[in-house]
Amino acid sequence: MLDIALLNLMPNKEETEADFAHICAESAEPVHFILTKMSSHVTRHASAEHMALYTGSEAVCQAHDDGSQPLDGAIITGAPFDWVDFPDVDYWPELCRLMDWLRARQIPTLYVCWGAQAALHYFHGISRFEEYPHKLSGIFPQHILIPDHPLFQGIEEPLCIPHSRHTSMTNSEIDACADVTVLVRSDETGISIVECMNGLEFYLVGHQEYNLRTLDNEYRRDVSRGLPVCPPRNYYVNDNPALPIVDTWQENGRRLFANWLNHYCRG
């Protein structure tokens, strides 16, 4: 059994939990998620009963340190803060303490979407550039720069990755950063996967964990709110939201997560 701390910063807690459970299903060992929250933040999108399943980050760290619940790895999810400066996020100090603690304890960590942006900014000083003219949403084929890397075992290009965001980090700064290695990128989405500290940390700028309908749910939610969004690209047949969804990413996504769990979290 692999004990993985899942710091779930997404509004839809249960859907996110299910997405990560699904994407980790091909691990060589069963995965037990320790549902983790920021104690300095009060969520408005989940019931008190459901949040009772979560443990504050400080308690998770303490349980690892005292040996009662040692961690094999950690995942820090995305969060809905595209237009908020990192230091203005209410739980930023607590998150920074957790990121420092994970690195100091050498616990393998996946940082996903906004979590990846936060880690790139905090650890490496990478800045966020202005938002896109329109939301970047869809399934985008990527180029794997190091095909024999353990993370890509059994994966053949195209590695298609869901993206759903209004902003990105400054790619030229990432390319110039000597502390990281860019593993995956595309002309449309820019850099998508970055490695740091020989695999101790991976920054996944996309959403490999998204299930078949996540982008569809987001699109129809935004339309119902009257937001000026376009249908997710490369997602529906002929990019037509009235037609079926084409699954080009889930199988490779499960392989990628299994590779991370098997190569980096199993000790």
pLDDT by residue (tens digit) across 86-98?
999 999 999 999 9
Q: Is the pLDDT of residue 267 over 70?
A: no
pLDDT, position 166: 86
Class of domain 2-212+249-264: alpha beta
pLDDT, position 105: 98
Q: How many CB atoms lie within 10 A of CB 144?
A: 19
pLDDT band of 161, cuts 50, 70, 90: very high
Q: Is the pLDDT of residue 46 over 80?
A: no
d(CA 58, CA 42): 15
CA distances from 15 to 61, 79, 109, 160 (A): 25, 14, 21, 21
pLDDT, position 9: 95
pLDDT-wise least confident of 42-56, 99-113, 201-215: 42-56
Averaged pLDDT for residues 45-51 = 81
pLDDT-wise least confident of 73-77, 110-114, 263-267: 263-267
Averaged pLDDT for residues 50-66 = 95
Averaged pLDDT for residues 132-146 = 91
pLDDT, position 83: 81
User: Where in the chain are the domains?
Assistant: 2-212+249-264
pLDDT, position 224: 95
pLDDT, position 42: 79
- List the catalytic residues: 113, 207, 209
Average pLDDT taken over every residue of the chain: 94
- Percent pLDDT > 90 in the chain is 84
Nearest to 109, CA basis, from 236, 195, 22, 206: 195
d(CA 9, CA 121): 17
Contact, 208 vs 249, CB < 8 A?
Answer: yes
Averaged pLDDT for residues 243-253 = 97
Contact, 126 vs 120, CB < 8 A?
Answer: yes
d(CA 19, CA 37): 17
Q: Is the pLDDT of residue 135 over 90?
A: no
Q: Which two tokens stand for residue 148?
A: 């024999």
pLDDT, position 47: 83
pLDDT, position 10: 92
Interhelix angle 114-124/92-104, rounded to 10 degrees, is 70
